[in-house]
Structure 1
Amino acid sequence: MTQPILNYIANFDANNEHKLSFVYLGAERTSTHMVSIRENKPNSKPIYEKTVINYDKEHILDGKTLKNGYSYLAKLRVKLGDGWSEWSPEIKFMCLETPVIEFDTIDKKNFIYTNDVQFDAVYRQAQSEAVVSYQYTLYDQQHVVVKGYPTRTPNPLSPNIFTERISDLIKGKLYYVAVKVITKHGLVHVHEQQFTPQYIVPSISGILQPKLNEKDAQITIEAFLKQMLGTPVKPFIPNRPTDSDDHYTYWQNDYVVIPKDNPLMFTKLGMAKASDFVVKLWCMDVSNGVMLDWSPELGKGTHIRFIKHDNYITCEKQFGKIKSRTRSNIVEGLGLKPFYLYIYVHEYRIEMRIVEGLHSDDDEGAN
């Protein structure tokens, strides 16, 4: 009499339906089989026995038939014309709850804000099942593999955080990132999430283009801002009844004069999460002191101030009691001369470069 063989049973989540399969090569045709499952303990009794009639050589375990966190032994026999066959050898397996993995690098809108990012996948599992290895894979929008990363072992100091650095991401392109984990008891789980690199790269050149309307004795100001997302931008003039009036003076009908007591302010520039952007400013007759003040809202939030000195510019940012300061290159005899100021941001580090020169439409040096 040929004995049936129950196929290998991978560890699975007992809350979900699971399919068992078997092989029977006996001479007699059979359509009935029985599965018996007991807890993996000496002399334990069956907690599940069920007879099924079909020709598929499969047995479906309904969800919540077993319990997570336990080890089991399963066996199977088939019904023949003169009775039941012998039991198959017992197969050992465990029931473990499906892990939960979250990418804390990706925000709620499935955006990241840089083209070079360290992904952190945070792992949780109800039975504290340890992970022995993990592997990242990056896919494009068609689910074609862009890059497969090496299989790695979790850091013993942070065994539930799986890290991989992914670079050269293209702005505005849809990607999928997946991390595959294998646990101590052989549980294999893959978590996948889509994301889009949507870091903003604005470039401001010329800042303002005033147009003189002699008939109405008015000046129209146009601001030129090139950036990835087209965030709305408009000038805001504080201490005025409305923000649409023009109360600035002009030099040679071409350049706007911005006094310290009436600064020009822009709202919704969309730079809060920018990375690697370049701002190009042409300035002239800039006195020493605060020349630019960036903040999320007027008078609120963390300010980034750019301070003009005799020969250089410093950038200051204060958070609580901690103040960071960076300095531009030194330009001897800068004084009130015209100059370009290039402002770069690499991750969260601000860099500046001063280039002397008269205003032109040439963007050379902005990249």
Structure 2
Amino acid sequence: MVDIKPTLYVIEPWDALKGTSVYYSYTGSKQSLDNELVITDILSNEIVYKYEFSSFEKVHHIPPSLLTNGSQYKAKIRVKMIDGTYSPYSNEVSFKTFSTPVLDIDNIDGQGYVYNSDVTFIALYSQGDGELVKSYRFSLYDENEDLIKNFPIRTPSSQEALTEVVKGLEKGKGYFIECSIETINGVTYSHKERFIPLYIVPSINGVISTRNDSDEGFIRVTANLKQITGTQVQSSPKSLINNENNSLEQIKDNYKYIDNEWIVIPREDPVVFRGLGMNRASDFITKVWCRNIPDFKEFLEIRPVEGEGIPIKFYKYPNKIVAEKNIGDIQSRYISNLVSIPKDVDFMLYVQVIEHRIYLEIKIL
């Protein structure tokens, strides 16, 4: 009677630090109790793993961290019968081990937002063994992780940045974006992140810089707005002074700057942003980095085009920021989280305005 040898199935590439399971089939007439897997390094021809695994199922579980990533191996298996005899070894199967790839969706910010209705998503790819991407695909899901669209399978033009243009995103709606890759050696991996489009968003952080755009006919704010789409910023931050007629007027940007990163706001001259493309003080997010703001004084004001909306004024206290909106004789006040704000310490003021509700949060560096 000819002894029947088992058949070892294909072993997909895997991360040796995490371990894996290999499967086989055996059709012999005798009952098998154990299986013995032997793994050999192809380059050195040394046996690096040999172990008997007890299982009635036709599987052998390889523990983590026994092999080395970036290497090529061959494996064979045999089964042990109930009477203690062994079957012949199976045919050898070659496989490779690779460290798990890293994918990061670069243009989703730390709050989980993107700032446009049409977004070119960029997945940054890296892999410790230099494994190259053969193909990739992006997929868009709704907030319940139900598939909306699979984009075409693409061949990367760059191994570091995988891109896909997603159009028609709805503002304020939750989505998931997923990038799936397959490498030249058959490694498959995917990464998924949640995001919300907020695409009428002035987001202020860093140096305030203005320049005259003669082609478009307005003053452009640069380096401090993340993105505003569908609207144009029609004025720059200015201080206000009383003219001879006792009315407020804008004067030339007269603030001092420190290292091209900080604007010095005098106690008597709060920053005023006008004409931010909003028809009302609603539906936007602003992030302002602050330092050495005087207490009990207005230091910032955000106002739409004159006469078309309600301005929001911001005041600093030793342990909070207060926002005020005045409608006729009615005043609404909104208070941030309570936190001690030491002198000479940077902090970020996060402002979210949805209709007539304002959310404030102070984040200390």
Distance (whole Å) between structure 1 residues aligned to residue 59 and residue 275 of structure 2: 57
Aligned to 2:155: 153
TM-score (normalizing by structure 2): 0.57
Task: Compare CA radii of gyration and give the structure with the larger one.
Answer: 1
- 1:262, distance to aligned residue in structure 2 (A): 12
Matched, 1:142 2:144: yes
Residue number among 127, 130, 136 corresponding to 2:129 in the alignment: 127
Change (3 A) 1:38 1:261: closer
Contact 2:115 2:201 in 1 (8 A): no
Contact 1:138–1:146 at 8 Å: present in 2 too? yes
What's the offset of the Cα at 1:191?
1.1
**Cα distance, 1:79–1:106 mapped onto 2, change above 3 Å:** same
- TM-score w.r.t. structure 1 length? 0.57
Q: 1:345 aligns to what? A: none
Counterpart in the other structure of 1:212: none
Residues 106/47 of structure 1: CA separation in 2 closer, same or farther (3 Å cut): same
Q: Hey, which bits of structure 1, 4+ residues long, moved more than 3 A?
A: 236-240, 257-271, 277-281, 295-298
Secondary structure at the aligned position of 2:162 is classed as strand
Aligned position for 2:171? 171
2:135 aligned partner, one-letter code: S
Q: Is contact 1:133–1:153 with CA below 8 Å preserved after alignment?
A: yes
Unaligned runs of 5+ in 1: 203-235, 241-247, 250-256, 272-276, 282-294, 299-338, 342-367
Counterparts in 2 of 1:48-87, with a 5 A limit?
48-80=49-81, 81=83, 83-87=85-89
Considering only aligned residues, what root-mean-square deviation do their CA atoms show, in Å?
3.5
Shift, 1:26, TM fit: 1.2
Whether the 8 Å contact between 2:240 and 2:248 is mirrored in structure 1 is no
- The answer (yes or no) to whether the contact 2:11–2:94 under 8 Å persists in 1 is yes
CA gap of 1:85–1:112, structure 2 versus 1, over 3 A, is: same
Contact (CA 8 Å) 2:240, 2:249: kept in 1 or not? no
User: 1:87 Cα deviation (Å)?
Assistant: 0.4
CA distance in structure 2 between the partners assigned to 1:27 and 1:267 by the alignment: 86
Alignment of 1:1-367 (within 5 A): 1-41=3-43, 44-80=45-81, 81=83, 83-155=85-157, 158-200=158-200, 258-260=248-250, 278-279=278-279
8 Å CA contact 2:239, 2:251 repeated in 1:
no
Cα gap change, 1:6/1:279 in structure 2, threshold over 3 Å: closer, same or farther?
same
Q: State the shift of 1:58 in Å.
A: 1.3
What amino acid maps onto 2:100 in structure 1? T
Following superposition, the deviation at residue 40 of structure 1 comes to: 1.6
- Residue type of the alignment partner of 2:194: Q
Amino acid at match of 1:86: P
Partner of 2:159, secondary structure, is: coil
Encode CA deviations 1:194-239: one digit per residue, 9 max, x unaligned: 111123369xxxxxxxxxxxxxxxxxxxxxxxxxxxxxxxxx9856
Q: CA deviation at 1:21?
A: 1.2
Q: CA deviation at 1:340?
A: 9.9
Match of 1:311 in 2: none
Task: State the alpha-carbon separation in 1 of the partners of residues 28 and 103 from structure 2.
Answer: 45
On the 8 A contact 2:68/2:97 being kept in 1, the answer is: yes
Q: Distance in 2 between matches of 1:185 and 1:134?
A: 14
Q: State the alpha-carbon separation in 2 of the partners of residues 88 and 179 from structure 1.
A: 37
| Contact persistence 2:135–2:156 (CA under 8 A) | yes
How many angstroms apart in 2 are the aligned matches of 1:296 and 1:194? Answer: 24
* Residues 103, 74 of structure 1: alpha-carbon distance in 2 compared, 3 angstrom cutoff: same
1:102 deviation in Å? 0.9
Tell me if the contact between 2:34 and 2:52 (Cα under 8 Å) persists in the aligned partners. yes
Which structure 2 residue ranges, 5 or more long, are not aligned?
A: 203-237, 254-268, 282-286, 291-305, 309-365
Partners of 2:177 and 2:193 within 8 A in 1: yes
Matched with 2:259 is none
Post-superposition shift, 1:173? 1.3
**What is the CA–CA distance in structure 1 between the aligned matches of 2:251 and 2:13, rounded to whole Å?**
71
Measure, in 1, the Cα distance between the counterparts of 2:20 and 2:289: 55
Question: Could you tell me how far 1:17 is from its partner in structure 2?
Answer: 2.2
The alpha-carbon distance between structure 1 residues 269 and 70, as it changes in their structure 2 partners (threshold 3 A), is farther
Matched residue of 1:31: which SS? Answer: strand
Checking the alignment, whether the CA contact within 8 Å between 2:113 and 2:197 is kept in structure 1 is yes
| 1:296–1:57 distance in 2 versus 1, CA, 3 Å | closer
The question of whether the paired residues in 2 share the 8 Å contact of 1:200 and 1:270 is answered with no
Sequence identity percentage? 29
Contact 1:104 1:121 in 2 (8 A): yes
Cα gap change, 1:54 to 1:260, in 2 (>3 Å): closer
8 A Cα contact 2:241 2:248, kept in partner: no
CA-CA distance at 1:71 after TM superposition = 0.3
> 1:17 touches 1:62 (CA, 8 Å); kept in 2?
yes
